[in-house]
Structure 1
């Protein structure tokens, strides 16, 4: 082999080695750039992910929680009373049966009979208790009938409470010119009334005789017992 051929082979080998080096260098550069781009993309992705998560967390979660837990409370309804209690106001606006012509209805505690000019009024003395054994409080009171030019007479009336409706079950004549001072409802539908009665010679202001009368609520509605009480 000639020397010229050897030189040509060396030159060709050097050119081949140089090209291979350049190719390896370019491949390395491309690999570095690819890694940098991948890292940048990963960094951007990791930076953006919390923002998306935060946005979803702040916008969606409270709305779902609020709609799930918030309710409008319903107003409580009071249970109706089967037997509303009797009051003096109700007694002053009730119907009473003690006149032959029929019932009279008080208005604010009074009734005026236009034909006779008699005034019927409910006294302030009232007692409460169970008269018909239904577990509900009933009432007993006194009605006074003022008769023109003749004085007045008094009746003892009893009223039962039937589911809030007042019903007068008895009206007992007590007497003329008497004052009912106390009323008490006793067991076995018994009414005890302490009354004051005028004696001859008593001044108009002050009856001197005190009596305790006991009434039994029954068909006859007659007084069971009358006894004098010591005057205090």
Structure 2
């Protein structure tokens, strides 16, 4: 795909993410939801006003910060009302990690059923639900990129199977 083609595709995913309607109670539920982080594995993370803070170690001034971002999409997949949200975890001095969290809506509200690590110091442009998949437009690290400066623009697709995010095999678009 040409560079111009990639930019057009990224723009289409971005516009799709903006046009996906959200459910009425989604945003207030998200600010205080509980999810399982792949990065901060001390246990479930419960957000308060969209973030979670914890000491990196006992009696340490260093802090782990987990924040909900504005990158999110809501829609129907496999007959279920789902959400895909981006969460960022900052570990004091060791990176900024982006995770895609899958949410399933029930009568009790939103429940996180799976979380996938997208990378350290990547740039997430948008999240969309399209063609029965979750799509994440992002810039990640190419083979020669330093950690500070990703340059490879990609779109990662995930199917949802049994309430889990599943990356298709490389030969499936």
Q: Which runs of 4+ in 1 moved over 4 A?
A: 199-204
- Please, what TM-score do these two structures have when normalized by structure 2? 0.69
Q: Which runs of 5+ in 2 are unaligned?
A: 1-22, 58-62
Instruction: Please state which structure has a larger fraction of its residues in helix.
Output: 1
Find the partner of 1:88 among 1, 7, 27: 27
The 3-state SS of whatever aligns with 1:88 is helix
The structure whose Rg is larger is 1
Q: Which runs of 5+ in 1 are unaligned?
A: 1-83, 228-232
Structure-2 change in CA distance of 1:149 and 1:159 (3 Å): same
Instruction: Please state which structure has a larger fraction of its residues in strand.
Output: 2
Structure-2 change in CA distance of 1:120 and 1:203 (3 Å): closer
CA contact (8 A) 2:64 2:92 kept: yes
Give the Cα–Cα distance (whole angstroms) in 2 for the partners of residues 133 and 92 of structure 1. 25
- Please, what TM-score do these two structures have when normalized by structure 1? 0.53
Shift in Å, 1:132: 4.5
Tell me: higher relative CO, structure 1 or 2? Use CA pairs within 8 A at least 6 residues apart. Answer: 2
The 3-state SS of whatever aligns with 2:93 is coil
CA contact (8 A) 1:184 1:193 kept: yes
Structure-2 change in CA distance of 1:163 and 1:184 (3 Å): same
CA contact (8 A) 1:191 1:215 kept: yes
